[in-house]
Amino acid sequence: GAVGNMSLDLVLLAATVINSRASSSTLITDLMPEFITARVLIACVLQLIVHAIPLFLPSQQSLPWQTGYGRSCIAFNWSFNADMVAPVVIVAHNRPAYLQRTLHFLLPIWQADQHGFPLFISIDGASVTARFVARINSVAQKHIIGLLNHDDGRTCAAETDSRQCGYQRIAQHYGWLLHVFFVCNSAPRLIFLEEDLEVSPDFFAYFRRMSNILENDPELWCISAWNDNGQSPFVVDSSAAYRTDFMPGLGWMLARRTAVELLTSWPRTHWDAW
């Protein structure tokens, strides 16, 4: 985990210093006095001891990854009801650093209204989940995030056209999440958030307010927090919401009635252009 990586870095640093002392041609040996080299070694050993201590202490059990694909179901411990605004699922694949950044912006805002927005992370592909565990498992333990893994055993590398395979897997991932939340768990609404987004401070307040409009207006099929023209030079009224026939995507919410309808003919690929 993070502790292991830090300890490994310190070991490598210590090994570098030791090797530099053994070779007269090494720049560190030529420029570093003996006493400084010794101090670096002592500091490395102390750091190793400090970071090794947690390895011998009892730790919290990792949250389990719940895996599925297609039309398989996962039952959550959450009890979805009409008072809940919407669960939020962050859709990710193989960019743990991006996901970390999204959580950095999202969690401080989410903590103020977490009961209305149960938080989940869903990662596509079993082969990449290990890369996320060290980065997000401690966050998941603290903030009670549900960890989902969309995996059907295939990899795009095995496909003839890996780019098209990627589009197919994205569509399958979204379709599976719609099925899990709406069909298997009867969620009233669902917010999708991609793993490379920074949310604004009014993100949850916006969706809480707009959820009533979504439920009461049959002409609306989703609410989005993204506007391609939303930069300050182009905004006249920052409190206005606009109707559009273009699917903004990215951070958006839809109701159960719409999701059930969409699932009857969910596309095999390019879901966002469908």
Q: Report d(CA 183, CA 80) in Å as an integer.
A: 12
Q: Are 123 and 132 in contact (CB under 8 A)?
A: yes
**Which of 60-69, 143-152, 207-216 is modeled with the greatest confidence?**
207-216
Give per-residue pLDDT as tens, 175-211: 999 999 999 988 999 999 999 898 989 999 999 999 9
Q: What is the dihedral of CA 69, 73, 79, 84, to 10 degrees?
A: 50
Report the Cα–Cα distance between both ends of the chain, in Å, rounded.
40
Amino acid, res. 242: Y
Give per-residue pLDDT as tens, 157-178: 555 566 678 788 888 899 999 9
| Confidence (pLDDT) at 5 | 37
Residue corresponding to tokens 């930069």? 231
Give per-residue pLDDT as tens, 6-50: 333 333 333 333 333 333 333 333 434 554 566 656 666 656 554
User: CB under 8 Å to 112, separation ≥6 — which residues?
Assistant: 204
Q: Report d(CA 272, CA 246) in Å as an integer.
A: 10
Per-residue pLDDT band at 256 (split at 50, 70, 90): very high
For the chain, give the mean pLDDT.
74
pTM here is 0.72
User: CB under 8 Å to 10, separation ≥6 — which residues?
Assistant: 44, 47, 48, 51
Residue 196 known to be catalytic: no
